[in-house]
């Protein structure tokens, strides 16, 4: 069995100019997760603000640690929900 998929759904809680300062570190964090061989995607909602990161982790505890290390979370830029995502039709 492979890693599970998790989703961090987030909402910005600071002004955009403050939020944007953490974006380069967030993108570097995502690149570092990918370099570990993890599937990870990150982005924002075009129509309503906020964003999402979907990523692989071995457990809920590891997923929580990954989210805690995200600069957007660490810098207090977002509030978030974390959910395990059970995909039922991958690759179709």
Q: Could you give all domains of the chain from N- to C-terminal order, each with its CATH number?
A: 4-85 (3.30.70.1060)
* Confidence category of residue 75, pLDDT binned at 50, 70, 90: very high
pLDDT at position 1 over 70: no
* DSSP β-bridge partners for residue 4: 57
pLDDT tens-digit profile of 18-58? 999 999 999 999 999 999 999 999 999 888 778 999 999 99
Percent of the chain residues topping a pLDDT of 70:
96
Strands (E), the chain: 4-12, 40-44, 51-57, 78-85
pTM for the structure as a whole: 0.89
CA dihedral 21, 8, 1, 28 (to 10 degrees): 0
**Ramachandran quadrant class, 37 (left: phi over 0; alpha: psi -120 to 50; beta: rest):** left
% of the chain exceeding 90 in pLDDT: 82
Q: Phi first, then psi: give them for residue 36, nearest 5 degrees.
A: -80, 0
The pLDDT mean for the chain works out to 92
């Amino acid at each position: 069995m492979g890693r599970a998929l998790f989703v961090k759904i987030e909402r910005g809680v600071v002004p955009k100019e403050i939020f944007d300062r953490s974006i380069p570190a967030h993108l570097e964090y995502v690149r570092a997760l990918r370099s570990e061989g993890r599937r990870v995607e990150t982005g924002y909602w075009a129509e309503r603000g906020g964003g999402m990161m979907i990523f692989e982790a071995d457990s809920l505890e590891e997923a929580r640690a990954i989210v805690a290390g995200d600069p957007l979370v660490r810098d207090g830029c977002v509030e978030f929900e974390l959910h395990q995502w059970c995909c039922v039709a991958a690759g179709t």
